[in-house]
């Protein structure tokens, strides 16, 4: 027998089955592409998808409420002098190798907020994730040697400023 939790859904999902619920609330978080505007995406979801009556909604009344919204973030290029200091520090720590610019993670939600709240500030977004790092999962892992080297690069770069 399944025990019903506070929200009306089974507390033990292995015992769950088909059910019709009178009311259901879904909270969803989306990451936007670096150049997307949150207001544009909200309009698209609100009018063209979520609240429209379609066969698959089976006549259900659907309400869409935005709790919070932000824009994507695309970091500008680093100023030439800062970029030179970064490259020099990287070459020093990584045996002559220059940094690799991947261009991912641009929709990290707080970066748009930082950019808005601190206009004109330069941000250096960096990380130590690799294809096998399993970012944001239960078995996320980091290469500690690489992490230590990256920390040294940032320290050397900051010392040159």
Domain assignments of the chain as residue spans, ordered by start: 80-160
pLDDT digit string, tens, across residues 76-111 = 888 999 999 999 999 999 999 998 877 665 557 788
pLDDT digit string, tens, across residues 120-158 = 888 888 888 888 888 878 888 999 999 999 999 999 999
Residue 10 DSSP SS3:
strand
Q: How far apart are CA 76 and CA 74, in angstroms?
A: 6
């Amino acid at each position: 027998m399944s025990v019903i939790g506070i929200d009306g859904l089974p507390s033990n999902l292995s015992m769950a089955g088909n059910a019709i619920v009178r009311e259901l609330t879904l909270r969803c978080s989306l990451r936007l592409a670096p150049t997307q505007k949150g207001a544009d995406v909200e309009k698209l979801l609100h009018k063209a998808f979520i609240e429209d009556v379609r066969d698959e909604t089976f006549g259900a009344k659907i309400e869409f409420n935005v709790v919070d919204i932000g824009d994507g973030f695309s970091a500008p290029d680093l100023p030439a002098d800062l970029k030179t200091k970064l490259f020099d520090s990287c070459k020093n720590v990584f045996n002559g190798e220059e940094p690799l610019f991947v261009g991912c993670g641009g929709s990290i939600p707080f970066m748009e907020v930082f950019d808005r709240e601190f206009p004109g500030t330069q941000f250096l977004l960096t990380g130590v994730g690799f294809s096998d790092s399993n970012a944001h999962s239960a078995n996320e892992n980091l290469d500690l040697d690489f992490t230590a080297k990256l920390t040294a690069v940032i320290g050397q770069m900051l010392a040159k400023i």
